[in-house]
Structure 1
């Protein structure tokens, strides 16, 4: 009863009802909420605090920004079901939806400008290896046709892996240290309307997920940035449930030394022995090793499964 009272008190204000409806559509920063609601940030922050205290919303800090999302489903879903059953739209709802569309447009514009400014950097790397479409096709084949359960994309960048695999996941979590990258990913995923996807700012050595919390983990062109790749693989293994899978996509060993200084690569690729050794050390059995040649850099796929389920033999391609 105490919990129910706190929820109804939190919702006993039209602005807070509007905030819940907006968060249902997409995760928003406090500044974006203020923009949509036409209120000051301090006032919106007070409303957000009340909703968070009642468990109806959650706050996450990313750099200098604070993002707000809906709280735990057990508390929020009954409220959303009530919204649906009333099925009413007043002038505030229509106005909020229009201003929310403007926020989406602002995000998309910012993402487009960033990509335009950095296109040369991305193209320089991609020109060195097989087409990304072939890499993604190999990843899809490696993970098979089934459901992916709870998916975590480590070092999600602009959210491409969530965009690609999110529709097959029950829940998808994208993690990255860069708040700028997460803003770009947020714009992309909002445009794709992936309601089961969530983004968080966090380190690949300290994932924001408990032990045994994920069924599928992906490290897509991330490991070569890691100073401690073995530790990153160990952290990914920690969050996997028994039978869960980790898919790593990265480069085979190469001699492109300029990538260290130009693109901050900490490692110039990895051998099968290295990766499979790290797998063994953290209880991952190798399932697939695949090689994609077609440029100066060779792309590798390594798929491992956490102990606890019958394993199939590793195959090389």
Structure 2
């Protein structure tokens, strides 16, 4: 519940055209100051000032990532309910709101295309590039250890890339399916999985944020070095939950928070790693309970600057409740 004065303060904070537009955009997912500046076509100082007021009122939260800052709507239940009720009544057909959403979709489409272009350019060298980021053999061993010997009926590998996770877990699952949007990646994956021991593994083109067409449910879903390429990583967790059986498990492998801006500039990374708190929150919202979170420190090699100071984190969580599809 909200006290009278607190509610009045929240309504005042949101009761301004630019700030209400910002809240409507953040209801679509986490966005950076750069994204919001481009969408609203206003100066960075002006947007930052409005975000500061919303942050001080407790309506939004800040997610610093290197030189960038992402914003999301508050996770406080009472304040979130107030925002949801207000935004639900906002006419999405309003000229200004409709234009904002159109620009948001354009920015997201551009980001997706940049990632796809990067994958296309580096498809044949993808595994080699991953070796620069973290010791792959140590990560593979940690993945096997984290999953244990519990048998897997159906495995779904989202953003399968070159099929490395399918290959790694081939002996653990009875059926395995990899989804990726990039055809060049899938061509390499199919070549890798062409063998007598991989007949139960398949890959197909698809959008990991739209799995509604899948007619099966999976007891293990994996996301290996995928989330940092997404504008809204939590959306992938919600989508994964929607295609999983009750008590199924999800494995996420990604970077811990870091400050390597070159990965964003040169390698299409949208997020510079994820903290344990952020990942746990996203997992819980999607209906998962985290059972394991393990950090793997990078090997310090002076002649391999890409791997310096990078830590890989492995999360294993179990689906324990139902969560609605994230819109």
**TM-score clears 0.5:** yes
Q: Structure 2 CA distance, aligned partners of 1:166 and 1:245?
A: 17
Q: Which residue of 1 aligns with 2:131?
A: 126
CA gap of 1:274–1:193, structure 2 versus 1, over 3 A, is: same
Cα deviation 1:92-136 (Å, max 9, x = unaligned): xxxxxxxxxxxxxxxxxxxxxx999954x754553343x101001
Alignment-derived partner of residue 203 in structure 1? 207
1:186 to partner: Cα distance? 0.5
Deviations 1:20-46 (A, max 9, x none): xxxxxxxxxxxxxxxxxxxxxxxxxxx
Structure 1 residue 302 corresponds to structure 2 residue 315: yes
CA distance in 2, matches of 1:208, 1:185: 23
Looking at structure 2, the residues matched to 193 and 290 of structure 1 have their Cα atoms a distance apart, in angstroms, of 30
Q: Report if aligned partners of 1:151, 1:171 keep a CA contact under 8 Å in 2.
A: yes
8 Å CA contact 2:124, 2:188 repeated in 1: no
2:255–2:311 Cα contact (<8 Å) kept? yes
1:145 is paired with a residue whose SS is coil
Aligned match of 2:152: 148
Q: Is the 8 A contact 1:151 1:166 kept in 2?
A: no
CA gap 1:231/1:193 in 2 versus in 1, 3 angstroms = same
TM-score of the superposed pair, with normalisation by structure 1: 0.57
Whether 1:291 aligns to 2:295 is yes
* Residue of 243, 249, 252 corresponding to 1:248: 252
d(CA) in 2 for partners of 1:162, 1:230: 23
The equivalent position to 1:174 in structure 2, one of 173, 178, 181, is: 178
CA distance in 1, matches of 2:193, 2:211: 21
8 Å contact from structure 1 (residues 174, 200) kept in 2: yes
Alignment root-mean-square deviation, CA: 2.2
> Kindly tell me: are residues 272 and 146 of structure 1, through their superposed partners in 2, closer, same or farther at Cα, counting changes over 3 Å?
same
The answer as to whether partners of 1:128 and 1:296 remain within 8 angstroms in 2 is no
Q: Which residue of 2 aligns with 1:217?
A: 221
Distance 1:161 1:253, change over 3 A: same
Contact 1:248 1:303 in 2 (8 A): yes
Indicate the SS of the match to 2:193.
helix
Aligned mates of 1:116, 1:264 — CA distance in 2 = 11
**In the TM superposition, what is the alpha-carbon distance from 1:256 to its structure 2 partner?**
0.5
User: Is residue 146–residue 292 contact of structure 2 (8 Å, CA) maintained in 1?
Assistant: yes
Asked whether the 8 Å contact 1:162–1:174 carries over to 2, the reply is yes
- C-alpha distance in 2 between matches for 1:211 and 1:307: 21
More contact order relative to length (CA 8 Å, sep ≥ 6): 2
* 8 Å contact from structure 1 (residues 243, 306) kept in 2: yes
TM-score, L = length of structure 2:
0.55
- For structure 2, the residue ranges without an aligned partner over 5 or more in a row are 1-119, 299-307, 322-327
Shift of 1:196: 0.9
Report if the CA contact (8 A) 2:211-2:239 is conserved: yes
SS at match of 2:251: strand
Deviation at 1:147, TM superposition (A): 1.1
